[in-house]
Amino acid sequence: MTGDIRAVELFLFHEARLLDEARFEEWLALFTASAWYWVPIEPGQADPFESVSIIYDDRRLLETRVRRLLNPNIHAEEPRTRTSRIVGNIVLGEDAGPDVDPGADLVVASRFQMAEFRRDRQRVFAGSMRHGLVKAGDSFRIAWKRVDLVNCDGMLEGISVPF
């Protein structure tokens, strides 16, 4: 399936805005019932089950992650993290690379930068994302999302907010 590049851009920008505004329940609603979210620990890691990952959440673990983020007593988020994301270099379809999972109508590749501020400290994350999207009316839902951090194999302190 090919997609309208502008519709895909708007969808990815909307996802970034939901995360930046800590609207985690709305972000979770973007995912399908069988979705997964993966942040590999090695460049080019081919399989989340053959070695450890930074994050590998199926839908159920995503729901748990969101519940924790919404809990007012979560220690890892006191004070709350503030973020700002930039998403760009969006490529659709076959040009986005090999399909990761056949459960998507459209594969989308993009690049991102995320600044995170918490406890008078700022961190910057950057990398590439691949989304497997399924058509949902005039928009999309996320069947899977893979985030490859530029520094995935470096020292990373606790990560509590999704990319």
Number of structural domains found in the chain = 1
99: pLDDT confidence band, cut at 50, 70 and 90?
low
Q: Indicate the pairing of strand 31-40 with strand 53-58.
A: antiparallel
Q: What is the pLDDT of residues 16-68, one digit of tens each?
A: 999 999 999 999 999 999 999 999 999 999 999 988 999 999 999 999 999 99
Tell me the CA distances in angstroms from 112 to 77, 126, 147, 148, one per residue in order.
Answer: 22, 6, 9, 10
**162 lies in some domain:** no
Decide if 161 is inside a domain: no
Which tens digits make up the pLDDT trace of 74-98? Answer: 877 778 899 999 999 999 987 666 6
What is the biggest distance separating any 2 CA atoms in the chain, rounded to whole angstroms?
45
Which pLDDT value is given to residue 14? 98
Residue 156 domain flag: no
> Would residue 159 count as lying in a domain?
no
Whether 155 is covered by a domain: the verdict is: no
Q: How far is CA 127 from CA 84, 88, 154, in A?
A: 14, 11, 13
CATH of the domain at 9: 3.10.450.50
Q: Is residue 37 part of a domain?
A: yes
CA 81 to CA 91: how far, in whole Å? Answer: 30
Burial (CB < 10 A; 0-12, 13-18, 19+), residue 26, is middle
Residue range(s) defining the domain that contains residue 140: 5-149
Residue type, 44: G
- The structure's pTM equals 0.91
Residue 128 lies in a domain: yes
